[in-house]
Chain A
Amino acid sequence: MADIALKQVTKKFKHNVALNAVSIDIKDKEFYVIFGPAGAGKTTLLNTIAGIVVPEEGVVTMNGKVVNSLEPEDRNVAMVFENYALYPHLTVYDNMASPLRSPKYRQPESKIREEVHRVAKILRIDWLLQRLPSELSNGQRQRVSLGRALVRNPEVFLMDEPLTHLDAKLRHQMRAEFKEMQANLNTTTIYVTHDYMEALSLGDRIAVLNEGRIEQIGTPDDIYYRPATEFVAQAFGEPEINILTADVVNKGGSMHMNLLGNSDHFPVPAQVKGILEDSGLNAVRVGFRPKDIKYSFSDDSASSLRAAVYSIEPLGSKAILTVHVDGRLIRLIAAADLEAKPDQPIYLKFNVDEAIFFDPETKRFIARAGKKGGRSVG
């Protein structure tokens, strides 16, 4: 049970800066998700906390104590590796028992037997205990790797993309099981993923990492509704948010955006207007989530924008509709049974109350009219 903190941690590999002045603060018993694309530095971050990698600059503390020079075996952390890292010459039982047989965390054999069986039962691998890792499927190996961590009673659980290499169905299943496990774990957990669905569903808080830097730290609501940068907005949500550049136009007392060649249909919400005026910006970047754009095939041109169908991707319960207007593509969510021909005219209605406004220079968040999402940190 521990607080973990990283202050200005920098780690370089030859000329590549993997972590750049990263500072995060993890509270005791928190389920903390570190989210980022491939190469962002997530595994390096986890390795820094585990002690496998020593940072060039910065301080790693556990419970307030600086642990930079503490060896991994002394830190009392349990880690689940992305590629499972099972000992190939030991059976499943011995793999799971191995931490409890180490000099540091030794337990008597009777206790070991009890613990291994208990965890194996929870993970439903109790019938595999005598097999070798080479005789298991990927899903089974992942559970053994998880089991090896769960038999311990560590200060913190570190999980490096544990669900990444499982097939989609198993992944969704395991995500639900993780959620349940998380409630029972009662231990600080740091979970690394590049899947935004896992991040949003499992995390108490999420830290978004990009190219070694923290983009934003916040609750799932913060991250989704008030993303700090365009990168964060684009990373969360499938299909991706549509971010468009718009000129700000003042029309008789109210502010409008000149968007997609049209300014009548995009009034700036009142809550945002004040902030925009203060910033003195002439142009903004505005993002619309696909679910905040409505469509219709009948011309209701009073408030609709005309576009043309580009493609439809049916996905079972819904479909992704891509349309093109004013030279660019916009993605929407549509009903699963939608039928349309390419280049067929279609009329869009944008919900500006849910739109997210970004500064065109810094790509950072300016304002949003909707109420959801508290103040974000960073």
Chain B
Amino acid sequence: MGHKNPWNQALKNAALALYALFALFPLFWMLLISFKHDREMFNTIFVFHPTLDNYRVLFSSGEYIGYFLNNVYVSVGAVLLSLVVGVPAAYALARFDFKGKENLAFTFLSFRFAPEMLIILPLFLIYQKIGLYDTPFGLIWVYQLISLPFIIWILRGYFEDISPEIEHAGRVDGYSWWRVFLKINMPLIRPGMVAAALLSFIFVWNNFTFALLLAGQDVVTSTVASLKYISSDTVHYGQMAAAVTISALPEVILALLIQKHLVRGLSMGAVKG
């Protein structure tokens, strides 16, 4: 029992630490160079004179704030729309039986299979024709291809885990169908909803292809905006790093805040077995 385990544990910890280092180092590096002057970029690694110049330049023109807010509008809008549409869809797939149900469910999932590049050209032409090119709504709509599948598939599983008897009990207790949905179903799928919404948010926030090719002049998201730092003669690494750091901040903060809602096993004990 005793003699092997401490070594095993130390080995496991070491392996995890190594992996953590490997995964987190690029982020750490990025943070580091956002505080470096351009002239010091290729010199020393950790010892340098930190500066806030990069951030100052970023905020001085006010442009970057605009890009950041654009990204916020479009991402939040996309996730909200996905929730409004996806939650009832997931419920229908979990509870009702109709012709072509599994085909439909698989179709939703298949949106995630195709690489964005595959459909970008026809979509570009269509968007031009119907006037959705370079509009926030256009982006929100096309982002559904990214965010909807997560919401539907994760929530379908959660709905299926809730025994229909619980809903029946609610009806018999005196609650209408709608109240049962709000007071009983929603709290029980909340962990799933939070997890799916966060995942979807991360993917649409980071999206580059659609934002680049289906928008670009009026609606510029922060992912696309970082291209601007690659100008013809030089690459402003410091400013790009600063832009990217700020861009990544919402995702990180959200993930940390939402942790307490990701509670497992809420349904245990409700139904026998």
Contact = CB atoms under 8 A, between A and B. Distances in A.
Given A52-B168, A133-B269, A148-B173, A83 B184 contact: no
B172 A72 contact: yes
B106 interface: no
Interface residues of A, number: 35
A132 interface: yes
A50 B166 contact: no
B171 A71 contact: yes
B91 to A, nearest CB: 17
Given A73-B171, A104-B174, A85 B269 contact: no
Interface in B141-194: 163, 165-166, 168-177, 179, 184, 187-188
18 contacts: A71-B171, A71-B177, A73-B174, A82-B165, A83-B271, A84-B270, A84-B271, A85-B169, A86-B269, A86-B270, A87-B169, A87-B270, A103-B179, A104-B174, A105-B173, A132-B269, A133-B270, A141-B269
A79 B175 contact: no
A159 interface: no
Contacts, number: 99
Nearest to B187: A89
B171 A135 contact: no
Contact of A88 (B174, B177, B270): B270
A52 B171 contact: yes
Interface stretch (B60-68, B113-121, B130-138, B260-268): B260-268
Interface in A111-143: 132-136, 138, 141
Given A133-B270, A134-B265, A134-B268, A85 B166 contact: yes
Given A81-B165, A83-B273, A88 B268 contact: yes
B272 interface: yes
A98 to B, nearest CB: 5
A78 interface: yes
The A contact surface, by secondary structure, is loop
Contacts of B170: 87, 98
Nearest to B177: A71
A253 B250 CA distance: 102
Contacts of A72: 168, 171-172
B172 A77 contact: yes
Contacts of B272: 82-84, 138, 141, 165
A103 B175 contact: yes
A156 B92 CA distance: 32
A102 interface: yes
A99 interface: yes
Nearest to A13: B97
B268 A79 contact: no
A102 B173 contact: yes
Given A85-B163, A85-B271, A52 B266 contact: no
Contacts of B168: 47, 50, 52, 72, 79, 81, 85
B172 A50 contact: yes
Interface string A56-74: 0000000000000001110
A289 B273 CA distance: 37
A72 B273 CA distance: 26
Given A85-B163, A85-B271, A103-B179, 15 more contacts: A51-B172, A52-B168, A52-B172, A81-B165, A82-B272, A83-B165, A84-B272, A85-B165, A87-B184, A88-B188, A104-B175, A133-B269, A134-B265, A138-B272, A141-B272
